Amino acid sequence: MQNYESLEERRIACVGTYPPRQCGIATFTQDLCSAIERQSDQGHRCHIIAINDRADGYNYPANVRFEVRQQQAADYRLAADFANIRNSEVMLVQHEYGIFGGTDGEHLMGLLSRVRMPVVTTMHTVLAAPSASIREVTQSIIEHSDRIVVMSERAVEILGEIYGVPDDKVRMIPHGIPDLPFVDSSFYKDHFGVEGRTVLLTFGLLSPGKGLEYVIRALPDLIKEHPELIYVVLGATHPHVLREHGEEYRHQLQHLAEDLGVLEHVLFINRYVELDELCEFLMAADIYVTPSLGEQQIASGTLAYALGAGKPIVATPYVYAKELLAGNRGLLVPFRDSDAIARAVAELLDNEQATLAIRKRAYLYGRKAIWAEVAGAYLSLFEEVIHGPSIATQRDRSYHNGAISPLHAVPEVDFSAMRAMTDDVGILQHARYTTGDRHHGYCTDDNARALVVALQSYELTQDREMMRLARTYLSFVHHAFRADGNRFRNFMAFDRRWLEDVGSEDSHARALWGLGAAVALARDDGMRALALDLFDRGLGTTDQFTSPRAWAFTLVGVHAYLRRYGGDSEAKRIRESLANRLYEQFTSNAKDDWPWPEDTLTYCCGKMPHAMLLAGQWMKHDGMIDIGLRSLGWLLEIQSSEDGHLSLIGNRGWFPRGGTKAMYDQQPVEAHALLEACLEAHRLTKDDQWFVEARRCFDWFLGRNDLGRPIYNYVTGGCRDGLHREGVNENEGAESILAWLMSLRAIRAAKVVEKRSVTTRHVVEING
């Protein structure tokens, strides 16, 4: 085993995915690091900081020194500390959208903003038309990097034109390739049982978007003139695709080949091959085909490898292919054009001398990209940034200088308590201390909320257990629905007896809230179809409801539903009807000193301004937005203590108009409802003050409350049921656990840097 603890070594902290994780970036990271160590004459050693996409990680080799859980923001900060303590001379980041956690990979900033060494970032994708979020993350990566490496000249142009990156900050270093001989393909064909065949090859992780169906559709015409032809599709299905969709795409391709009568001419090799075997496959190929559908693709390891092996190539005109195959180093065909693929392959097969010339041009062009040359270019770049001025010591970091990260003092996500409260029926309603209390059975609105939390968790962790739980919760909600009246029952005893024929309006509306969110979140078509059916059948009933809270919960659910199915006319009609009724209730009952639709403030008050803010945006109704912001600001003002922490309205007496606010019992659902409303106000107004208020609501869970005691249980991952005059309610019921998990997820998803301390009182002005 290589010694990675040598005192003489010069450490490079390399951040990216790494084998045995099956990922193109992982292979690139491994090959580049191996080449750097081979080429270095100064003892450079690459210490890998590996990004994991699954909870149990991988069986890594010894050079992987630190593992980061993709969606755990704290791990990125710890990785920065690790690299700093290890005295790494430079950090090399392999960046691709999708391998880092947070929205568009924003968690990476938690690492880059804290390292005390120069940073070189290789950008495997550079988008010419980024979304606002991707543009923001990309700009931040650029700002925190001393140099940006790209693999094509077009990427250099995009960085300058779109992102304003100066020329001296960008280096074009080709995608590395193995140093292969220029050989006749016949020598290697017997290794794979294709001797005497003309081999078309495509390799790489299989996923929709690769366009392989267009090659298969080209085969019938080709086989008429070249019956010996065989198309080899080499590579396992991409792990993320396999997890979400199984082998659906591969089976579609196989069925297509069967329908076209060319199944005997297509060879699927469904496995991930190591470099040595891959090179043998390449040398056995007669033509390499890359029919990708992604026009903006600016790098492709598979294309670079094929070019370096001197293969004649047929490619669609994506950015990287146009650049590499210019100068007649290959043939370009239009996207999604099987006839053009057939003509191009036939042209190469029927013109031996012209094809040999193309091969030679490709091979000679690729010599500058063999790994030894690429590693030398990186080593020179490292010396340049190590001995030059570094951003790490000069930049004015937005996460420092008194500002607070959105994730400052935010616990990691822990679903242990939710799992412990769940059996094969659903989530239990109440707990005796930290153990589920079966005497009280289940309720529908808790299971609807648990459904949302489980689906959100699956988005975060890709943990199949969360998908199993989501199905359990959805099954409960489905069982609760009575088709004869299109209403949900709410309470079920532990022996599975329903305790009522019809639940309350509020419980029905909370079920719709959960189902609407499930429609938006579910990736499984079957789950989404069931959630949609229940939502659709239960929605019409709400037109007869009289509870303002039921209107509000329904509106929040409708908003989530319309994020996926924005053209649903009936959902939009009901949204307009309920929103107008809630708005009229506000305007008819509100006074300057009481901007509220009821004469008593009771539970989940934050949901009503939240609903007004959502409806006002969708319906372009300024009055709804104004009343939403005004009433939310007032709620925060009257629920603020002398020293500025959140002091919620208690349920022992509530807060009647003209009366006194009850101090106890304060419950987690109140803090969650306010927090979600504040975050929506922040998204709407872009005023960071609202995020400060959201953090005040969140910090109520962590002990910034009237008793100075945490409601969140750091040991169990659960949440205590509230604040009593006598102390904290030590029971951890489902409603409280779910309110905590929803609040935690919401604050982690927020994208803002606080401009001021959340310990200081900041009350939003409600007048003017």
SS (H, E, C) 272-316: CCCHHHHHHHHHHCCEEEECCCCCCCCCCHHHHHHHHCCCCEEEC
Residue 460 tokens read as 């975060």
Taking the C-alpha atoms of residue 38 and residue 43, their distance in angstroms, rounded to an integer, is: 9
With residue 203 as reference, give the H or E element that holds it: strand 198-203
Domain 10-176+373-394 class, CATH top level: alpha beta
Who contacts 671 (Cβ-Cβ below 8 Å, separation ≥6)? 646, 648, 697, 698, 700, 701, 739, 743
Dihedral pair phi/psi, residue 465, rounded to 5° = -60, -35
Contact 739, 648 (CB under 8 A): no
Measured in whole angstroms, how far is the alpha carbon of residue 339 from the centre of its chain?
Answer: 37
Q: Decide if 10-176+373-394 and 416-749 have a common fold.
A: no
Copy the structure tokens of residue 469: 């739980």
SS (H, E, C) 522-579: CCCHHHHHHHHHHHHHHHHHHHHCCCHHHHHHHHHHHHHHHHHCCCCHHHHHHHHHHH
Answer for the pair 368, 174: CB distance below 8 angstroms, yes or no.
Answer: yes
- How high is the mean pLDDT in each 10-residue block of the chain (768 residues)? 51 95 92 94 91 89 93 88 87 94 90 92 93 91 95 93 93 92 79 84 90 96 94 89 86 94 93 83 91 88 91 94 94 96 96 94 93 95 86 46 50 89 97 94 96 89 87 97 95 96 96 95 91 95 94 96 92 95 94 91 94 95 96 95 91 92 93 96 92 93 91 92 91 96 88 38 32
> What pTM did the predictor assign?
0.63
Return d(Cα 328, Cα 326) in angstroms, integer. 5
- Please state, in angstroms and rounded to a whole number, the distance separating the CA atoms of residues 422 and 436: 8
- How many whole angstroms separate alpha carbon 341 and alpha carbon 149? 33
With tokens 């009933």, the residue in question is: 541
Q: What is the pLDDT of residue 405?
A: 47
Q: Is CATH 1.10.3720.10 the right assignment for the domain spanning 186-369?
A: no
Tell me how far apart the alpha carbons of residues 705 and 665 are, in angstroms, rounded to a whole number: 12
Alpha carbon 411 to its chain centroid, in Å, reads 19
Give domain 416-749's CATH number out of 1.50.10.10, 3.20.20.70, 2.40.50.100, 1.20.1260.10: 1.50.10.10
CA–CA gap between residue 712 and residue 15 (Å, rounded): 33
Q: How many residues does the chain have?
A: 768
Domains of the chain by residue range: 10-176+373-394, 186-369, 416-749
Main-chain dihedrals φ then ψ at residue 323, nearest 5 degrees: -75, -45
CA–CA dist 746, 513 (Å, integer): 16
| Distances in whole angstroms, Cα of residue 650 to Cα of each of 243, 446, 521, 597 | 45, 21, 33, 19
Backbone angles phi, psi at 59, to 5 degrees: -85, 80
User: What element of type H or E holds 668?
Assistant: helix 668-685
Report the alpha-carbon distance of residue 442 to residue 609 in Å, rounded: 29
Name the token pair of 507. 């419980």
